[in-house]
Amino acid sequence: MLVLASASPRRKELLTQAGFSFTVQQSSIAEDLLPSESPIAYVTRLAREKAQAVYEQLAPRHTGDDPLIVLGADTTVVAPDGEILGKPCDRADATRMLRKLSGATHQVITGVALISEAVKPTGTETAAEVTYVTMTTISEDEIGAYVMSGEPMDKAGAYAIQGYAARFIPRVHGCYFNVVGLPLSLVTDMIEGVTRRLHAVSPAELRS
């Protein structure tokens, strides 16, 4: 039984696109950055905490022969000056973020965590994917119009590469799906590796 510990519609769409059968269980954890925490440490910690919270909810009442596997993920944007950009708190913050990204290359980092009884000794497997994204120079009018569209408001770094902001992005070096919110190749390798170790189900049985 594969469970996605995220309410993100983009992650749900991507995991479905990859052919996996799964359920969704939202996790509620604080996403505050710890002092001196690196971007990779930050996203892998949040991914692990999301997966752990959902696993602890479901494991006590999980029955049957289908082993419980919980997938957590968290994505952040790292500005060229090193600032970690989460979701903007308001339009002014979204504008500030887009100004930082305009005309430069930044990083998008997704942390991924899998929790199951097959992962020993801690029960958790974590990894991270880094993609480099180049954004054209965006005018103040373009930034203003984009922010007013509402699209940036629930996105890390205040943009959606799969949406209107695609017009601002001429180059992506690395996994495109990572920028959307879930590095599919990495996630597939992790899920299928855990599935093989469980021996109870084959990778094909997790797929629809």
Catalytic residue set:
74
Residue 97, amino acid: M
Contact 134, 171 (CB under 8 A): yes
**103 — alpha (psi -120 to 50), left (phi > 0) or beta?**
left
In DSSP notation, 65-119 reads SS--EEEEEEEEEE-TTS-EE-S-SSHHHHHHHHHHHTTSEEEEEEEEEEE-TTS
Helix or strand holding residue 172 (H, E): strand 171-173
Alpha-carbon span 1 to 89, nearest angstrom: 35
Structure tokens at 46: 């949040």
Cβ neighbour number for residue 206 with a 10 Å cutoff: 20
Alpha-carbon span 148 to 153, nearest angstrom: 10
